[in-house]
Amino acid sequence: METIKDCIKNYSLADLQSLMHEWREPKYRAVQIFHEIYAQRRESFEDFQVIPQALRNKIQQKFIINSVVAPIVRKSSDGTTKYLFKLVAGDSVESVLIPSYDTNDDDLKRLTLCISSQVGCALDCAFCATGKLKLMRNLSTAEIVDQVLNVERDTGLKITNVVFMGMGEPLQNYDNMVKSVEILTNEISAIINRKHITISTVGIVPKILQLAELSRPVKLAVSLHATTNGVRDKLMPVNKKWNIEELRKAIEYYYRKTKIPVTYEYILFKDLNDSDEDVRRLVRFVNSVPSKINIIPFHDISFIYSGITYLKSADINEINAFARRLRDKGANAFVRTSSGFDIEAACGQLAFSVRK
């Protein structure tokens, strides 16, 4: 069986500098290689313009340049696009491209790419289709970065925002996720500013604390979805390990260290987490640091799992009313639309549904 070469995009600039030192090459070659890959977007080592042929040959013997192959693309009626990438190392992963337009003149205002960090997920949140797949493996750094590069190549457009909200829990693939952020935000690669990257987590408390120590921190989004441990235990088994009180302390620490406001994601379920008491508790929780709350509809996942009968989606009027109640009590609350719902690309729906 043929051994798959390592992908060069698993190497940060510092990694490439170490490799050049090991190969007895000048240190500046690492910068040139990095620039060729990311700034010039070369698709082949043979296309490198400034690297000597002998070094190109050596790189080609050790590495491949792409970790994914051409995706299967599905387009929603609302403009959302879902990409199913086949990975060179095996398995597949999904990404979702969400355009946002200016309401006044229909100009493209923002192009957000929701990327994945794992194939499947181990956390088994009740409302999430990805968790029903279980965890298959972590994505490599290259497989994370290549989602962004391939979507930009496919669309010919520059991604303005990257959110780690696709398949998997980013903080359970911490090292590869952080290295991918390092590559994406490097000044030489010039792919995206760190202020336009958001890491979403269900609440892996030790890793939130670790993420706060990054010298170049990014935005944090927390999937909350409940205001009591009893309800959150039922929705999100991770809460049994790190409960709401521990999570709040970690979030407060993150803000103290980074001074970056936090985003909370809150799926509204009818008769479960939508009471007046929930409103009061939620406002008290989120106002411990500067923040905003995104109220999200519950999206159907019966295409992969029909065993959840106690979760009922609140309708749009109930969602809007809940958001108003939050705002009336001083919270910064927004209602989020179900982008890509008709192609199973909305929040919680990523589970390779194209197979069906």
At 2 the pLDDT is 55
Whole-number Å distance between alpha carbons of 12 and 216:
15
CA-wise closest residue to 231 among 269, 198, 194, 175: 269
> What is the fold of 72-355?
TIM Barrel (3.20.20)
Q: Quick count: other Cβ atoms within 10 Å of Cβ 245? A: 9
At 298 the pLDDT is 86
At 350 the pLDDT is 58
CB 81 within 8 A of CB 97: yes
For tokens 């235990």, name the residue. Answer: 233
CA-wise closest residue to 300 among 314, 313, 310, 284: 313
Tell me the CATH architecture of domain 6-64. Orthogonal Bundle (1.10)
Handedness of CA 157, 163, 165, 171 (dihedral sign): positive
Angle in degrees, 0-180, between the axes of helices 141-155 and 174-185, rounded to the nearest 10: 40
**pTM over cut 0.75:** yes
Which tokens is 40 given?
């010039």
Whole-number Å distance between alpha carbons of 143 and 146:
5
At 354 the pLDDT is 46
Residues of the chain with pLDDT under 50: 1, 345-346, 349, 354-356
pLDDT tens digits, 264-277? 999 999 999 999 99
What CA dihedral angle connects 194, 196, 197 and 198, to 10 degrees? 130
Q: Which residues are tagged catalytic?
A: 94, 347
Pairing state between β 197-201 and 219-223 = parallel
Whole-number Å distance between alpha carbons of 1 and 273:
52
Whole-number Å distance between alpha carbons of 24 and 292:
51
> Tell me, what amino acid is at 354?
V
At 248 the pLDDT is 98
Whole-number Å distance between alpha carbons of 72 and 233:
36
Exposed / middle / buried, residue 103 (Cβ in 10 Å: 0-12, 13-18, 19+): exposed
Pairing state between β 63-64 and 6-7 = parallel
113 — phi, psi (to 5°)?
Answer: -110, 120
SS3 content of the chain, % helix, strand, coil (to 5): 40, 20, 40
300 — phi, psi (to 5°)?
Answer: -60, 130
Residues with Cβ within 8 Å of 355's Cβ and at least 6 positions away in sequence, in order, are none
**DSSP code of 1?**
-
At 345 the pLDDT is 47
Written as one string, the DSSP assignment of 241-259 is TS-HHHHHHHHHHHHHHH-
Coil, helix or strand at residue 61: helix
Domain edges within the chain: 6-64, 72-355
CB 113 within 8 A of CB 161: yes
Whole-number Å distance between alpha carbons of 278 and 318:
14
61-78 b/e with 16+ CB inside 10 Å = b? eebbbbbbeebeebebeb
Alpha-carbon radius of gyration of the chain: 21
